[in-house]
Structure 1
Amino acid sequence: MVDGGEETVDVLKQMSLSGYANGGVFCCLFVVSCFTNKYVLSVLKFTYPTLFQGWQTFVGGLLLLVSGKLGLVEMNTFPRSAFLSWFPGSLMFVGNIYAGSRALSRLPIPVFFSLHNTSEAVTYLVLRLTHREQTSFLKLSSVSLLLMSAVSLSLLDPQFDPGGYFWALMHLLSVGGYRAFQKLPRYSHLSDLEQQCINYIFSVLLLAFAAQPTGDLLAVFSFPFLKSYKFQSGCCASALLGFFLLLSTVKLKRSFSVEHCAVWVFAAKVVTAFLSPFVFDLVVNKPLLCCLLLNSFGEALLIYSK
């Protein structure tokens, strides 16, 4: 019995170490992926989101399908009805990545994260209206803090960019709606990878059709960095990092509970926001710093309330 107990303890320790290793890999990939996207969008000023996101989703979808065929990831085949019924979710996913690219190209990373966190309020309102979801006082307080800090940011940001905040608003609405859509019971049979595979396929098609009406397809030929080694390597790196971040996120969810995964995501965003001023320009004053800290506290409180 003692030997059996010791073996159980050893297994639990190994599982714990493996889980923390997965969390560390996730945080590293998250930071590098965010910085790479920000570099391509802001420093190189590649402001053609239909092409940038179309490239990322094409590479991600291709790698995911190949990985599934080779048995490197667990992804089951799904009926055409499930594929078509997920279309509203894919539309919100496209809105998420398109508006997110627009916003990230114009806003500092800490500000972008703070506005992104407000999507939790959108999810809360949707679930409250559609499912009559009961809410604790702690969760209501955290959502209120997120909203208050986001509104304060728009008033106190010394680098206020109306276009950036507009696209951030579109982004957080898409993210909040998509998160609520994922919680519908009829889609519980689709795994995270299967959902993402459908998103990738729809995204490539939708963004390819949108490239001409938005003018991105013609304008990209005048982009000065098109033949630059930095630009080419940055775009390739962003697509590959996005795919590996997806796999790392799925692996993280298998190692921890939903609540503990949220803690790792929170930690990754805090590290990214803290390091970003050392890499990218950011004008910070006391009111802005207070808003950012208030938003982080609201997110931490939301995680604790769950």
Structure 2
Amino acid sequence: MNLARASLGLVFCIFFVVSYFTNKYVLSVLKFTYPTLFLGWQTFIGTLLIWVTAKLGWVEINGFPRSVAVSWLPGSVLFLGNIYAGSKALSILPIPFFFVLQNVSEVVFFFIVRLTLRERSSWMKIFSVNLTLISAVTLILYKPEFGPNGYMWAIIHLFCVGSYRVFQRNSKSSQLSDIEQQFINYIVSMLLLASAAHPTGDLFGALEFPFLMSYKFHSGGFASAVFGFFLLLASVNLKTGLSLTHCAIWFFMAKILASALSMFVFSMELSSVSLLCILTNHAGEALSINSDRIQIK
């Protein structure tokens, strides 16, 4: 049983790292900064793969009322904001910095839940939230060269991630499985991104992209969509097979692994202060997971 759980976690970590590295490669190395097309392609492939695997019986999509799907639309809009702002931020920020700011979504989640549901929190949770926030703010102040665009998009991303978690927790669409929620997210995002490709200028800008006819671009774009789908399946299996605490631990380990390996794969300057911010931020994340574990007990 422990071996099976460890296998689930390792598979998730592998797809997590590969998915982020592929996206970073297309966005930063190839410099394909046209998110409506890049994300439209990803969500199209994601929609297609979910539909095909459902037809083959590999994943389960049950029939659900239209009203349930409509009630999930705010979550789909938050999901689109999450991936759009996230791709813009990831194209500018190094992966370790990106995760430092993404972790602040836990602060957003904490304050929204605390204000709306009046839930009490332990001193460890409050301390971890402050540690995460302070380390992220310090990093922004110490490394201003990635702003305002990089940090602005990262802040939008973290607000969407935190708000999405709150919506997912409080949503009345309990009839939807994680796969069904993601299927709706992909369809809504694909349609909105397709309609925005021309007004944003991404459609014409992409036609002048120097790597448009390159096998590196096409293979990278295709791989990012496929790896994103496998990451989805791995995360769903992880949530199904493990407790919330163990899932959070594997997510934490995946981010640590991706941050560490990215320093060897992608060029970046890492000073002692920025390294301290990264370590402090992840320490706050670890404390947050531990406080949630204690609260569950």
TM (norm. structure 1) is 0.94
Partner of residue 220 from structure 1, selected from 201, 206, 220: 206
| Equivalent of residue 247 in structure 2, options 251, 257, 261 | 261
TM-superposition CA deviations, 1:63-101 (whole Å, max 9, x none) = 101211221112212110011111111110000000000
1:53-64 mapped onto 2 (5 Å cutoff):
53-64=39-50
**155-164 vs 123-132, which deviates more?**
155-164
Aligned to 1:6: none
CA distance in 1, matches of 2:282, 2:167: 25
Structure 2 match to 1:141: 127
Aligned 8 A contact 2:64 2:175 in 1: no
Q: Distance in 2 between matches of 1:100 and 1:231?
A: 20
Q: 2:264 aligns with which of 253, 264, 278?
A: 278
Q: Which residue number in structure 2 is paired with residue 251 of structure 1?
A: 237
Q: Aligned residues, how many? A: 292
Other-structure match for 2:112: 126
Match among 44, 64, 74 for residue 78 of structure 1: 64
Q: d(CA) in 1 for partners of 2:174 and 2:287?
A: 27
In the aligned structure 2, how far is the partner of 1:64 from the partner of 1:176? 25
Partner of 1:206: 192
CA deviation after TM superposition for structure 1 residue 189, in Å = 2.3
Q: 1:93 aligns with which of 33, 58, 79?
A: 79
Amino acid at match of 1:38: K
- The one of 242, 245, 249 equivalent to 2:228 is 242
Aligned to 1:177: 163
Whole-angstrom CA distance in 2 between matches of 1:28 and 1:55:
22
Q: Which residue of 2 aligns with 1:196?
A: 182
**Distance of 1:158 and 1:129 partners within structure 2:** 31
CA drift of 1:160 comes to 3.1
Alignment pair present for 1:156 and 2:123: no
TM-score scaled to structure 2, two decimals?
A: 0.96
Equivalent AA in structure 1 for residue 61 of structure 2: M
Measured against aligned partners, the alpha-carbon deviations of 1:157-181 in whole angstroms (never above 9, x if no partner) come to 2643321000000100110100100
CA distance in 2, matches of 1:258, 1:74: 22
SS in 1 for 2:61: coil
**Counterpart pick for 2:92 among 88, 100, 106:** 106
Query: 1:93·1:199 contact (CA, 8 Å) conserved in 2?
Result: yes
d(CA) in 1 for partners of 2:120 and 2:48? 41
**CA distance in structure 2 between the aligned counterparts of 1:146 and 1:153, rounded to whole angstroms:** 11
Change (3 A) 1:184 1:264: same
The answer (yes or no) to whether the contact 1:106–1:161 under 8 Å persists in 2 is no
Superposition RMSD in Å = 1.0
Instruction: Report SS of the residue matched to 1:224.
Output: coil
Q: Helix, strand or coil for the counterpart of 1:139? A: helix
Does structure 2 conserve the Cα–Cα contact (< 8 Å) formed by 1:158 and 1:284? no
Q: In the aligned structure 1, how far is the partner of 2:272 from the partner of 2:283?
A: 16
Offset of 1:297 from its aligned partner? Answer: 0.2
- List runs of 5+ in structure 1 lacking aligned partners: 1-14
Decide which moves more: 259-268 or 74-83.
74-83
1:230 aligned partner: 216
CA–CA separation in structure 2 for the residues paired with 1:189 and 1:129:
26
Distance 1:161 1:301 in 2: 29
**Counterparts of 1:15-26 in structure 2 under 5 Å?**
15-26=1-12
Secondary structure in structure 1 of the residue aligned to 2:175 = coil
1:10 equivalent in structure 2 = none
Q: Structure 1 residues 66-75 or 201-210, which shifts more? A: 66-75
Gaps of 5+ in 2: 293-297
* Distance in 2 separating the partners of 1:239 and 1:226: 17
The one-letter amino acid paired with 1:98 is: Y
CA contact (8 A) 2:92 2:146 kept: no
- The amino acid that maps onto 1:27 is C
Output the CA distance in 1 between the equivalents of 2:144 and 2:68.
46
Distance 2:147 2:261 in 1: 22
Larger Rg: 1
Contact 1:107–1:161 (CA under 8 A) maintained in structure 2:
no
Runs of 4+ in 1 over 6 A off after TM superposition: none
Residue 185 of structure 1 and its aligned partner are, at CA, apart by: 4.8
